[in-house]
Structure 1
Amino acid sequence: MDMYVSMLATISAMDPSANIYIDDRLGRLIQIAIAFALVLLVWILRKKITNFFVKVVCRFLKQENNSRLQSELVVLYTPLQWLVVFIALHLSVSYILPITIQAYLASIPWGVGYLLLIGWGSANFVDVLSKRDWNTVGHMNKTLLHMTFKVVKYLIWALIIVMILDQFGFNINGLIAGLGLGGLAVALAAQDAVNNVFGCVVVILDKPFEIGDWIQTPDVEGIVEEISFRSTRVRTFQNALVSLPNSTIASSIITNWSKRDKRKLLFYVNLTYSTSKEQVQNIVTKIKEYLVSSPDIDTNSVIVGFEVMNSSSLDIKVECSVLYNDGKKFLAVREKINYAIMDIVKEEGGDFAFPSQSVYIESMPK
C-alpha cells in the first residue's frame, strides 16, 4: 500500500489537476483499510466479545453465580462468535466501504446469514434444555419434555427455512398450497412414518415404559435410552444399541422389569448327609429368623424349609422378596444373606455339600 501511495504522490507532483482523482482513490483505500481492519479486529476479539456479552446477560438476569446456566450457555458461544463477526462484516460492507462497492454488494442476502446463525444458536440451546436433569417432573413427563423439545427444534428450523425462502422472494402461501395438494401422495408414501409417530403417541400416553427402564420384548432386552418420533432406542446388556420402530413396539408384548417394587430371591442351601436332623431344623429356623428380621426383606414373602433329599445333599429351600429393584442393591442384599447363612451353618456344625459320588469296594483284587 505504501508503494501505491508513493506512486499517487508522484503522479500528483507531475500533474496538479490529478489531485482530486488521487484524493478520491486515497479515500477509497482508507475506507477499504478501515473496513478490513474492523472485521479483522472483531475476528481476533470475537471470544472476548462473546464472553463479555454472556456475562452481561447473566448479570442482567441476576444469574452471574449460576454455574449451571453459564455451562449451558457454552453451546451459544460458537454461534455468537460467528454472529459478532457477521455483524462487523455487514456494517463494514454497508457503511464503511465506498459507495460504489456498497452498490455492487447490495444484493448479498444478509438476512439469510442472520437467520441461519439465530437458528443455529436456538437449536443448540434447545438441545441443552432437553438434556437437563428435570428432577421436578416424573419419568414419563421427562419423556414428554424430550419429545416437546424435539418438536420445538424442528419448528425452529422449519420457521428459519420459511423465512429464508421469503428472503429469496418465494411465495410462501403458494408453497403451502402446493404441499396441501401433494399431501395425499406424501401420506401414501410415508405410511410407515405415520404409523411410527402414532406408535410414539401410544407409548407416551399408555406409559408401558420410560427412559431408563429395563424392558424385554420378543425382539430385544435392555435399558431404554431414547424415545423419538420414529423409534425407541434400547441399550442391550451386551452394550449394543437397538432401534425398534415405534409401530412395532406399540403392538408388542412388553415386560417392564423396572416396574417391580421388589425382586424375588430363590435358592437352595445344600447340606451334607452327615448333618443331623436337629442341625437341619436349627439351620432352617435361624435362616427364617434372620430373613424375617432383615429390613431389606418383605416379611410376608419369606419361605424357608427342608424341601428334598437329593442324591448327594439335603436341600433347604430359601425364598423371599428383596425390597429393592436396583440390581446393585439387590446383589448387596443377597451377599449379606449368603454370609449370614454361612455363619449359621458353621455355628450349627453343619457343612455344605457339593456334587459327589461314593464308591464302595466289596473286595480288593488279589
Structure 2
Amino acid sequence: MSESNIATETAESLGFNQTTVLAITGIIIAGIVTRFIIMQIAPSVLKKIIRSDNIKRKTVKDSDKALGSAAGAALSYFLTLQLINSIQSGSGTYSMPEIMQNVLPNIFQFIIALSLVIWAFRLVDVVQDVVEMLDDDGVTDGADKTLISAVESILRFFIIFIGAIFIADAVGFKLTSLIAGLGISGLALALAAKDTISNFFGALTVLLDRPFKVGDWVDVGNSQGEVVEINLRTTLIRTGIDTIITIPNANLVSTPVENYGKRRWRRWQTMVHFDINSDPDKVESFRDDILQSIQENAATMNEDSSWCRVNDISATSVDVSINLYWDVQGGADERAEKEKFLLYVMQIARDHGLEFYDNRIRQQR
C-alpha cells in the first residue's frame, strides 16, 4: 500500500474525505501566500500615504509579519467558513467532523486576534512620532513627553483589554457567560482591584491637574528626582544618584508635591571677598559693572530685585554680595549660565586690579 493511500485512509477514518483534505491544504497555502504578498505590498502602498519615515517604519517595516499573518489568517478564516457552510448545506463533496468545524475557524480567528494585538502594540510607539509631527516648534518638551507617556499607557491598556476579549472568543469562551460571571463577582473584583483603580484615577488627576510633567524636578514625600515617565498605575522618578523610584499614582493625590520645574525664576546668591586693602573706587566700579551685566544678561530676570552691593567689611576683607534671578529652563542651563557669569566676575575683578581675599596670602605678608 502506498503512502498516499495510507494518508487517504487515515483522513477518511477521522471523518475527512480526500477532497476536504485538499481544500484545507489549499486554504492554508492561500493564507501563507497572502501573508507574504501583504508583507511585500503593504510597505510600498503605505509609503505613498505616510510621509514620516519613523511612522512608516513602525507601522509597516517593524510590523509587516504581524500584519501579513493577520491578513493571511483572515483569508483562511473566510475560506474555511465557506467550506463549512458547504458541508452544512448537505453537499456531498466535502466531509468534516463536527468538532473540526468548530475548532478550525477558531484557530484562524485566534491567529487574527493575536497578530492584530501584536501589530497594535507596536503601533503604540507611533504616538511619539505623531506628537512630534503635529508639534509646531518641533521640540519635544516636558508637556509633550507627558502626553506621549499618558496616551501610550492608555492605548496599551485598551489593546490588552480588547485583545483579551477577542482571543477569549477565539478559543471558545462564551462572552455572555463571562460577562455574567463578572457581574456576579464584580464586587469581589472591585475590592481586589481597589489599589489599581485608585492608581488609575490618580493618573487621571495628574494628567488633568498637571502638578508636574515629564522632565520636572519634584519632591514627593521623601522622594526627590526628575519625572521620567507617567503611566496609568505608577509614576517613575529618577533620583540624583540615578536610581528609579516607582510611586503609585494613588499616593500623588494625597501627598504634597513640590515642583521645582514650575519656578518662575531661580534665585542665586553669592559673596565675593576682596582684600581689605582694595581701592574703594575700584570696588565701586566693579559693583557697577557687575550690576550692569546682570541687567543686560538675557538669562536673568527681576532686574529691579537684583543687586550687587558691599555687604560687609572685616579686618581682612571687603565682602560684596551678589543677588540675581536666573530665567532658565533647567538645572543644566542654570549651571552653564552660572559658570559664564563667574568667569565674567573674575575678568572684571582682574580688569579693575582687585585681588580676591585669601587668608593664606595675608599670613605670608
- So what's the TM-score if we normalise by structure 2? 0.76
Q: Which amino acid aligns with 1:76?
A: S
**SS at structure 2 position matched to 1:243:** strand
Shift of 1:169: 4.3
User: Where does residue 77 of structure 1 map in the other structure?
Assistant: 64
The one-letter code of the counterpart of 1:246 is: N
* Cα deviation, residue 170, structure 1: 3.4
1:237 Cα offset (Å): 2.3
1:236, distance to aligned residue in structure 2 (A): 1.5
1:50-102: CA deviations, max 9, x gaps? 1322212343x3x3x54233123233223124336646877998999x95689
The answer as to 2:334 corresponding to 1:326 is no
**Distance of aligned partners of 1:238 and 1:37 in 2 relative to their CA distance in 1, 3 Å threshold:** same
- Alignment partner of 1:273 out of 272, 276, 294: 276
Q: Quote how far apart the aligned CAs of 1:224 are.
A: 0.9
- Secondary structure in 1 aligned to 2:124? helix
Question: Which secondary structure does the structure 1 equivalent of 2:150 belong to?
Answer: helix
Matching residue of 2:109: 111
Give per-residue Cα distances to partners, 1:289-343, cap 9 Å, x unaligned.
2222323322223211111234643211111112213333323322222222222
8 Å contact from structure 1 (residues 212, 224) kept in 2: yes
Query: What amino acid is aligned across from residue 347 of structure 2 in structure 1?
Result: D
Offset from partner CA, 1:205-251 (integer Å, 9 cap, x none): 22110122121223222211111222111112222111111122222
Q: Does 1:182 align with 2:185?
A: yes
8 Å Cα contact 2:27-2:80 kept in structure 1:
no
CA separation in 1, counterparts of 2:27 and 2:195?
A: 54
Match of 2:194 in 1: 191
How big is the shift at 1:203? 1.5
Contact 2:264 2:327 in 1 (8 A): yes
Amino acid at match of 1:52: I
Do structure 1's residue 340 and structure 2's residue 338 form an aligned pair? no
Distance 2:300 2:164 in 1: 59
* Contact 1:312-1:357 at 8 Å conserved across structures: no
- Answer yes or no: is the 8 Å Cα contact 1:270–1:314 preserved in 2: yes
Change (3 A) 1:128 1:295: closer
Q: Equivalent residue for 2:15?
A: none
Q: Once the 2 structures are TM-superposed, how far is the Cα of residue 253 of structure 1 from its aligned partner?
A: 2.0
Contact 2:237 2:246 in 1 (8 A): yes
Q: Quick one: distance in 1 between partners of 2:299 and 2:28? A: 72
Q: Which amino acid in structure 1 is aligned with residue 341 of structure 2?
A: I
**Secondary structure of the corresponding residue to residue 202 of structure 1:** helix
Query: Would the aligned equivalents of 1:140 and 1:204 in 2 still touch at CA under 8 Å?
Result: no
Equivalences for residues 139-154 of structure 1 within 5 A: 140=143, 143-144=146-147, 146-154=149-157
Q: Are the equivalent residues in 1 in contact too, given 2:307–2:322 (CA < 8 A)? A: yes
Match of 1:349 in 2: 353
CA-CA distance at 1:36 after TM superposition: 11
1:292 to 2:295 alignment: yes
Residue 86 (structure 2) aligns with: none
Residues 258, 300 of structure 1: alpha-carbon distance in 2 compared, 3 angstrom cutoff: same
Deviation at 1:285, TM superposition (A): 1.9
Q: Is the Cα contact below 8 Å between 2:58 and 2:122 reproduced in 1?
A: no
- 1:57 partnered with 2:17: no
Residues 83 and 176 of structure 1: CA distance in aligned 2, closer, same or farther (over 3 Å): closer
Question: What's the Cα RMSD here?
Answer: 3.9
CA contact (8 A) 2:58 2:125 kept: no
**What is the TM-score normalised by the length of structure 1?**
0.75
1:199 to 1:104, Cα distance in 2 relative to 1, 3 A? closer
CA distance in 1, matches of 2:27, 2:178: 40
Q: Check conservation: 1:38, 1:88, Cα contact below 8 A.
A: no
Spell out the pairing of 1:1-366 with structure 2 (5 A cutoff).
38=29, 42=33, 46=36, 49-59=38-48, 61=49, 63=50, 65-73=51-59, 74-83=61-70, 86=73, 106=101, 107-108=103-104, 109=106, 110-129=108-127, 132-134=130-132, 135=135, 140=143, 143-144=146-147, 146-298=149-301, 299-310=303-314, 312-356=316-360
Deviation by residue 1:20-49 (Cα, 9 ceiling, x = unmatched): xxxxxxx98x959x8599479849x93x75
Secondary structure class of the residue paired with 2:63: helix
Q: Which runs of 5+ in 2 are unaligned?
A: 6-17, 84-92
Count of aligned positions: 334
Determine if contact 1:123/1:156 at 8 Å carries over to the other structure. Answer: yes
1:21 counterpart residue number: none
State the Cα deviation string for residues 117-166 of structure 1 (Å, max 9, x = none).
12221232134325654425995576356434433332233223223333
Contact 1:284 1:305 in 2 (8 A): yes
Whole-Å Cα distance in 2 between the matches of residues 309 and 249 of structure 1?
49
2: CA distance, partners of 1:130 / 1:58:
19
Closer, same or farther in 2 for the Cα pair 1:151/1:341, shift >3 Å?
Answer: closer
Q: Is contact 1:263–1:325 with CA below 8 Å preserved after alignment? A: no
In 1: Cα distance, 2:143 partner to 2:358 partner: 48
**CA 1:169–1:291: 2 relative to 1, 3 Å:** closer
